[in-house]
């Protein structure tokens, strides 16, 4: 993480945490004469557009008050993680409950299954109808698989 990203993280993290969010990622990049500040936040239950607008105002206020960005103009982008974000922390796995995921295995190969539960020690995947628990050190990064029709949606569909 660049020193600019670290300074931005330090300036806004208290406000983000106080609002009940996890600060997942901070990047600061040059964009012409300005800098692009990208902040990714998440929380249990997800994040909606009103939440993002409120957090954007709070983060902008914190950045302006701290002068961490100096006098140069910047563009602030606050968003939630996309479906392509790797599952690397227990909270990521917990928030993926019900989703189909693929993860590499530390012992080799990979596993694909639906997340049924996750806590601080392990994640349980339904692999072909069999619940299988994996400690986090047994798994590499997980990836959510995009499904156009999830099983719970297909049950209500008619042919």
The segments of the chain whose pLDDT lies below 70 read: 1-2, 150-159
- Nearest CA-CA partner of 110 in 144, 134, 140, 86: 140
Determine the pLDDT at residue 156: 55
- Phi, psi (degrees; rounded to nearest 5) at 24: -85, -40
Q: What is the CA radius of gyration of the chain?
A: 19
Alpha-carbon distance of 120 to 54, in angstroms, equals 30
pTM: 0.74
> What is the third-level CATH fold of 3-79?
GMP Synthetase; Chain A, domain 3 (3.30.300)
Calculated CA dihedral for residues 141, 146, 149, 155, nearest 10 degrees: 0
Give buried/exposed letters for 1-14 (b at 16+ CB in 10 A, else e): eeebbebbbebbbe
The per-residue pLDDT for range 84-109, each reduced to its tens digit, is 889 999 999 999 999 999 999 999 99
Determine the pLDDT at residue 3: 87
Instruction: Provide the CATH number for the domain formed by 90-154 in this structure.
Output: 2.30.30.100
Determine the pLDDT at residue 46: 84
The residues spanned by each domain of the chain are 3-79, 90-154
Determine the pLDDT at residue 159: 44
């Amino acid at each position: 993480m660049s020193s600019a990203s670290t300074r931005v993280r330090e300036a806004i993290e208290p406000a983000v945490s106080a609002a009940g969010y996890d600060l997942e990622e901070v990047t600061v990049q040059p964009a012409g004469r300005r800098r692009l500040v990208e902040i990714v936040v998440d929380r249990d239950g997800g994040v909606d557009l009103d939440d993002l607008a409120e957090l954007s105002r709070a983060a902008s206020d914190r950045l302006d008050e701290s002068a961490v960005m100096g006098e140069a103009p910047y563009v602030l982008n606050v968003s939630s993680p996309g479906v392509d974000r790797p599952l690397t922390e227990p909270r990521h796995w917990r928030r993926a409950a019900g989703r189909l995921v693929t993860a590499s295995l530390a012992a080799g190969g990979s596993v694909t299954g639906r997340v049924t539960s996750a806590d601080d020690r392990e994640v349980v995947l339904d692999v072909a109808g069999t619940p299988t628990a994996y400690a986090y050190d047994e798994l590499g990064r997980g990836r959510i698989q995009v499904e156009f029709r999830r099983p719970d949606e297909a049950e209500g569909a008619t042919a």
